Amino acid sequence: MPDSIGSEAIICTGLAKTHPGGIEAVAPIDLRLMAGQTTALIGPSGCGKSTLLRLIAGLDQPDAGQVIILGMTPEKARRRAAISVAFQDPSLLPWLTVRGNLGLARRLARQRPDPVRTLRLIELVGLAGFADTRPAALSGGMRQRAAIARALVTQPQVLLLDEPFGAVDELTRRQLARDLPPLWQEAGTTTLLVTHSIAEAVTLSDRIIVLSSRPARIVADIDVPLPRPRPADLAEDAGFRAIAAKALAALSALT
């Protein structure tokens, strides 16, 4: 289990960011994410979801407030390879194969090569047979799946996913939604997922945070108390529909 303060893995206090040019992206936000939980961030396009994720990862510096991850600053957590990020853009290095890209992530995280885990993850994201293929020969969806595998290969305690299923086809998305959460749970990973899709948020997460239009503020904080593992036909469940309706109502209230 992660060595966080109590059971809170990510604590954001008064976090705010204004882009150059005076565009306020994130209004002061207070947020506490429980260790081992999966939280989805949803909100209108351009509301500042990705900015908030980057602030939490420490890739951008906030203008105000602070982030504590597992009791550390984001910088320290990154240096300890406690964080992995799957970006909106798969950003695979074109000169490395899928296996090579995963291997590089382990090297960057100062971890020994783990060929077995690497291959298992490649297979899990549906890329069996493509381990030695370069990104240029993969479709957009396949690249995105490779990027998800890369984010998982370092066994991070905190996983930040920025719309990772954007270019993935519906069938694979369902398969990933079935196969990935058990992995996170097994490792006690704290996951923060940015998504546009209410269905995806309800299927994958334990908690949904709805953000307002720019600057991002929390307008709703919805629990998802659906049991795990979640079945493939979860969308037909009354509980699912009720939560999805709540999230939709919160989003609709913004317009």
Partner 1 sequence: MRQGARVAGGMLGVAILLIGWQMLAQALYQGRLIAGPVGIVEWLGRDPGLALRALARTLGNAAAGFALGNLAAILLAGIAFLWPRLQDLVTGLALVAFCLPLIATGPILRVLMGPGEGPQIVLAALAVQYTTLIPLLTGLRAVPAAWLDLIHSYGRGRWVELAHIRARAALPYLFAGLQIGAPAAVLGAMVGEFTGAERGLGVLTIRYMRDLDVPALWGVALLAAGASLAAYWAIGGLARLVLDTRPPVLLAPPMRQLRTGRVVGGLTLALAVLLLWWGGLWLTGLNPFLAKGPWDVLAALVWAPDATQMRAALFGALRESAGLAVPGYLAGLAAGAGLAILLTLLPGAGPLVMPVAVALRAIPIVTTGPLIVLFLGRGALGTITLVAVMVFFPTLVACLHGLRQAPGHILDLLRVHAAGPLSQMIHVRIPAMLPALFAAARISVPTAILAVTVVEWLATGRGLGSLMALAASTSDFRMLWSAVALITLLAVLCHAVVAGLERRVLARYAPEQLRQ
Whether 182 and 189 have beta carbons less than 8 Å apart is answered as no
Among candidate residues 180, 11, 185, 159, the one with its CA nearest the CA of residue 83: 159
Stretch that binds partner 1, among 100-108, 177-185, 227-235, 245-253 (CB under 8 A): 100-108
Tell me which residues in 195-234 interact with partner 1 (CB under 8 A).
none
Residue of the chain from 7, 91, 155, 185 that contacts partner 1 (CB under 8 A): 91
Site membership for partner 1, residue 93 (CB under 8 A): yes
CA dist., res. 224 & res. 199, Å (int): 12
Q: How far is the CB of 100 from partner 1 (least distance, A)?
A: 11
Scanning the structure block, which residue is given the tokens 């097994």?
186
Stretch that binds partner 1, among 15-23, 42-50, 104-112, 190-198 (CB under 8 A): 104-112
Q: Identify the sign of the CA torsion 63, 195, 162, 114.
A: positive
Residue of the chain from 31, 67, 83, 251 that contacts partner 1 (CB under 8 A): 83
Read off the amino acid at residue 67.
V
Site membership for partner 1, residue 180 (CB under 8 A): no
Nearer to partner 1, 154 or 191 (CB): 154
Q: Identify the sign of the CA torsion 115, 117, 120, 121.
A: negative
Site membership for partner 1, residue 51 (CB under 8 A): no
**Residue 162, both tokens:** 């920025």
Residue of the chain from 16, 34, 81, 219 that contacts partner 1 (CB under 8 A): 81
Q: How far is the CB of 232 from partner 1 (least distance, A)?
A: 32
Residue ranges in the chain assigned as alpha helix (H): 49-57, 74-79, 98-108, 115-124, 140-153, 170-187, 198-204, 238-252
Site membership for partner 1, residue 15 (CB under 8 A): no
Q: Residue 15 — φ and ψ, nearest 5°?
A: -75, 125
Stretch that binds partner 1, among 72-80, 117-125, 175-183, 228-236 (CB under 8 A): 72-80
Q: Which residues bind partner 1 (CB under 8 A)?
A: 57, 59, 75-81, 83-85, 87, 89, 91, 93, 95, 104-105, 107-109, 134, 154
